[in-house]
Structure 1
C-alpha cells in the first residue's frame, strides 16, 4: 500500500476542512428555500461563470481527457470547440426565458406547455443523468486516490462523499458557488503544475514531446470524413453541441445559477466567461495527455505496473497471477489511459506539491458532485415533493425536503460510482450515459420553444417515438448476429443527436393534428 508523506496528508485535510467550513459559514444564511436554492439572487456574474467552469471541469476532465489523449489523440477536443455556438443560443434565448418565468426549476414550465407528463418525464431524465454523472465522478476520484494510497475505492467514495454532503447540505447553492470559485482556480493551478512537471521529466522537453506526438498521430482531431459510425471530428463536434446546448439550456445545474445572478445580463456573461476559460483549460489537459504519452514512450518499463493494475480491476483481485499477466500484456494504451496520470503523480511528483495536486483533483470532483446534489435536491423539492406530496409546503418542511434530497442523491451518486468500478474509460462511460438520458429532454424543450403549434398530443407522440429510437440505438448491440443488420450503425455519441431530432421533428409533424389546452398563447414566454 502506498503511503502519502505527512505534509501531503496535511494539505489534503486542510483543504477538506476548509470546504466544510465554507458550508458552515453560509449555513447561517439558509433560513428559507429561496436562499438555499438561488442565494436570493445576489451572486456576481464573474463568480457564477467560474462556478459553471468548475462544474464543467470535473474529475472526468482532469483524468479522462489526459487518458483519452494518451490512449488516442485530441479527437475529444472537438467537444470543447462546440461550446461557443451552444453558449450563444443559451445566452440569447434560454437565459431571458428562465429569468422571466421566475421558476427555480427548469422543468416546471414544461407542465404549462405540454402537461404534467412532460414535466415528470424531464425530471426523471434529469435525475438519472445526475446520478450517472455523480457516479462517474466519484469513480474518477476514487480511482486516483486508490492509486495514491492503496485504500479501497468504496471507502474513498464514502469518505469524500460525506465531506461533500456536509458542506452542500449546510451551505446551499451559495456555498456551492463560492467553493467552486476556489475549486476552479485550484484545479487550473494544479493542471499547470502537472504540465510543468511532466515536461521537465521528458528527455528533450517540448521538442521531443512534439516529435513523439507527430510520429504517433497524437495531435489529430479525428477523421474529417462525413462518417457517423465512428468517432470522427464531426461526430464529436455535433455531439458536443447537443450536449452543451442541453447543459446551458436546460440542465438544472446551470439554470439554477442563472437565478442566482443579480441580473439577466450578468447571467449571460457567466456563460461566456465559462466558455472562454474552459476551452483553453481543456486544451491544456489534452497537452498533458500527449506529454504523458511521450514520457512513458521514453520509459516503457514503467507501464507494466499500470497494465497489471488495469488487468486486476478487469478480472478481480481473486484472479490468478497468470490470467492477470496475460491480460495485462494484451492491453492497449486506450485500455488504461485513465490510470496513467495517477501513476505519474505517485511516482514522480514531489511531496507537498503532490498534496496540492490531489486537492486540485478532489476539487475537480467535489465541485461537480456538490452542484449535482444541490440541483437534484431542488428538482426533487419543486417537481416532486411540492407537486405530488405536499402542495401547501411551509418554509420549514420545504427546507427539510431540500436537506433530505441532498443527502439521498449524494448517496445514490456514491452507489452509482461503485457500480462503475472496472470500466475502461470514465470519459467514455459518462458520454454514453449522458447521451442516453439527456437525448429525450432536449428535443422536448426545443419543441416547446421553437414550434408554436405543437401541443400536448404532438409532444407526447414525438417523445414516445424518440424514446423508442433511443432504446433501440442503445441496446441494439444485443441483437443476435444473424440479425446484425437491425443493429444501430451509428456511433454511440449520436444517440442524443438522433433522439433529439426525432422528438422535435415528429412533434412538429403531428402539430397540425394536435388540439390541446396547453398552447403557446397561454404561455407567451415559451
Structure 2
C-alpha cells in the first residue's frame, strides 16, 4: 500500500467543479430570478409553501453531515455493529417529534422556536438559549468544514485550504443570495450525491473483497458483528442502553429543538405535511447510517490485518474511508471526485442550514426583542439577514482554520451537540409538561446543567480520559516494511495517558453517548426540585 500512487486526476476535479457550480447556480436562480427572496418569509421560511419531499430531503441532508459519512465507518471498524442500535433512536425520536413537538410548534407559529422560551419563562432565558445555540452551531459548522477537508487532503492530495475556502465561499454565496429555498434545493441535490457516493463504494467494495460472504467471515472472525452488549457500565462506548437512552435523547434534541430542523417544519403548509417530512427524513437517515455501517465492515475486511493508522499510512482515523475509496476507485476516473463531492455535500448541507438558522435566531430572538421600539421594515430585515449570512459564512471559514487539533469528528460532533443541546431540550420539556416550573426554577436548572455539561466535556477532553478503553482487536501482521519499534512506542505512550490520579476521572470516563441523556435528566430534575421551593 502506498499513498504515493494515489492521486486525483482531471476527471475528479471536473466532478468537483460541476458539483460546486451546480450549488452556485441553484443559489443564483432563487436569488436573482423568481421572487428574488425579497421578504423575510421568503428568505427564512421559503415562503411557507415548500413541497413535502424536498423539505424531507433537506431535513435529512442537514442531519447527515460529513462527520456521519467519515465517522460511522470508523466506529464500526473499531467497535463493531453495536453502533447500529442508534438507528432505533432516530425512529423513536421521529415518532415523538411528529406527535408532540411538530403539532405544538406549528400551533405556536413562531419563526424561531426559542420565542416559546420567552413566552413560557423570560426574555433573559430566551436570549441565553439562543446564544448557546449560536455558539454550539458555529463550532459544529467549523468542525464539519475543517475535519473532512483535512481528511481528504492528506489522502487525496487535495489542498486543504483550497478545499475549505472553496466549500465555505460557495456555501456562503448560495445561502446568502438564495435563502431557504436555495438551501433546500441544494440539499436535495446533495442528498442524491451522498447516496450515490456511498452506494458506489459499497458495490465496488464488495466486488474487490470477494463478495458479501467473505466480508462477513472476516468481520465475524474479528468480533465486529455484535448486537448483544447489554452492559450497564457507562464507560463502554456502545451498548443497547447508550443507544436507546443516550442516543434517543441526542436524536430527540436534534429533531425537536434545534432551529435548523424546526425551521423546516414551518416551511411546509400544514402539520400533516411536516409529519410526513420527518418520517421520510428518518427513513433516508436510517438507510444512510446503515449503508455507512456496511462501509465500516468493508473497510475492516480490507485492512483487518494491516491497520492504516498504526501502520502510519494515515494520520487520523477519519481518513480510513477516503483511503479505502482512493484504492477502490483508482481504476475508475472521476469516481474519487464523486466521493469527495459526496463528503463535501455532507458539509455544505449542514453549514448552509446552520447559517440560515443562525441568521434567523439573531433577527428573531436578539435583534427584534432588544430593538422592539425600532423594528426595521420587512425589506430591511431581509437585507440584514442576507448580510448576516455572509458574515456567518466567513466566520465559519475563519474558525475552520483554528480547528487543527481535531481527531475524531464524529465524537466531537456528538459530544458538543449532546452537551449544549441537552439543557435546551430539558427546558422545553419543563415548559411543555410541568406547568408548576417557573422562570426562576428554569433558569437555575438550565445554567447549572450547562456548567456541569461543559465541565464534563472539557475535563474529558483535557485529561484524554474519554479515550475509549475497549477497542476491538486490530492487527498489523499483514503489513510490510513497517517500523515496528515506532508502533510499539506509540502504543505504550497512548496507554500511559490514563495513569493520572484524578478524583473526577470516573466522571470524565463516561461514554459521550450519555451526554445528551445526562443533560436532559439533570435539567428536568433540578427544575422540578427548585419549583418546590421557588413557588408556582
For this structure pair, what is the TM-score category when the shorter chain's length is used for normalisation?
A: 0.7 to 0.9
Structure 2: distance between partners of 1:79 and 1:280:
12
Pairing 1:195-344 to 2, within 5 Å after superposition: 195-202=202-209, 204-221=210-227, 223-233=229-239, 234-297=241-304, 300=306, 303=308, 307-310=312-315, 336-344=316-324
Q: Which residue matches 2:171? A: 164
Q: Which runs of 5+ in 1 are unaligned?
A: 311-335, 517-526
Structure 2: distance between partners of 1:414 and 1:461:
35
Pairing 1:137-156 to 2, within 5 Å after superposition: 137-147=144-154, 149-156=156-163
Q: Would the aligned equivalents of 1:457 and 1:515 in 2 still touch at CA under 8 Å?
A: no
CA-CA distance at 1:4 after TM superposition: 2.3
Structure 1: distance between partners of 2:533 and 2:301:
61
Q: Which residue matches 1:132? A: 139
CA-CA distance at 1:275 after TM superposition: 1.1
Q: Which residue matches 2:41? A: 34
Q: Which residue matches 2:429? A: 446
CA-CA distance at 1:505 after TM superposition: 1.5
Which residue, 50, 53, 58 being the options, matches 1:43? 50
CA-CA distance at 1:22 after TM superposition: 0.3
Structure 2: distance between partners of 1:75 and 1:158:
37
Structure 2: distance between partners of 1:93 and 1:463:
22
Which residue, 501, 521, 528 being the options, matches 1:508? 528
Query: What are the superposed Cα offsets for residues 20-70 of structure 1, whole Å, 9 maximum, x if unpaired?
Result: 010011113201111001111111212211111111221111111112222
Structure 2: distance between partners of 1:275 and 1:98:
19
Q: Does 1:376 align with 2:358?
A: yes
Pairing 1:288-437 to 2, within 5 Å after superposition: 288-297=295-304, 300=306, 303=308, 307-310=312-315, 336-349=316-329, 350-389=332-371, 391-437=374-420
Structure 2: distance between partners of 1:198 and 1:475:
38
Q: Would the aligned equivalents of 1:73 and 1:222 in 2 still touch at CA under 8 Å?
A: no
Q: Does 1:174 align with 2:157?
A: no
Q: Does 1:10 align with 2:39?
A: no
Q: Would the aligned equivalents of 1:67 and 1:338 in 2 still touch at CA under 8 Å?
A: yes
- Of 44-53 and 73-82, more deviation after overlay is shown by 73-82
CA-CA distance at 1:134 after TM superposition: 0.9
SS in 2 for 1:75: helix
The CA RMSD over aligned residues, in Å, is: 2.3
Query: What are the superposed Cα offsets for residues 384-433 of structure 1, whole Å, 9 maximum, x if unpaired?
Result: 22222464111232122211221222233233433333432111111111
Q: Which runs of 5+ in 2 are unaligned?
A: 464-498
* Cα 1:308/1:459, change in 2 over 3 Å: same
Name segments (4+ residues, structure 1) moved above 3 Å.
302-306, 475-483, 512-516
Structure 1: distance between partners of 2:309 and 2:511:
32
Q: Does 1:57 align with 2:71?
A: no
SS in 2 for 1:484: coil
TM-score, normalized by length of structure 2?
Answer: 0.86
Q: Would the aligned equivalents of 1:69 and 1:289 in 2 still touch at CA under 8 Å?
A: yes
Q: Does 1:79 align with 2:86?
A: yes
- Of 42-51 and 352-361, more deviation after overlay is shown by 352-361
SS in 2 for 1:419: coil
CA-CA distance at 1:279 after TM superposition: 1.1
Q: Would the aligned equivalents of 1:66 and 1:337 in 2 still touch at CA under 8 Å?
A: no
TM-score, normalized by length of structure 1?
Answer: 0.87
Q: Return the structure number with greater helix share.
A: 1
Q: Which residue matches 1:113? A: 120
Query: What are the superposed Cα offsets for residues 411-467 of structure 1, whole Å, 9 maximum, x if unpaired?
Result: 332334333334321111111111221122111111111101111111122223322
Structure 2: distance between partners of 1:15 and 1:222:
42
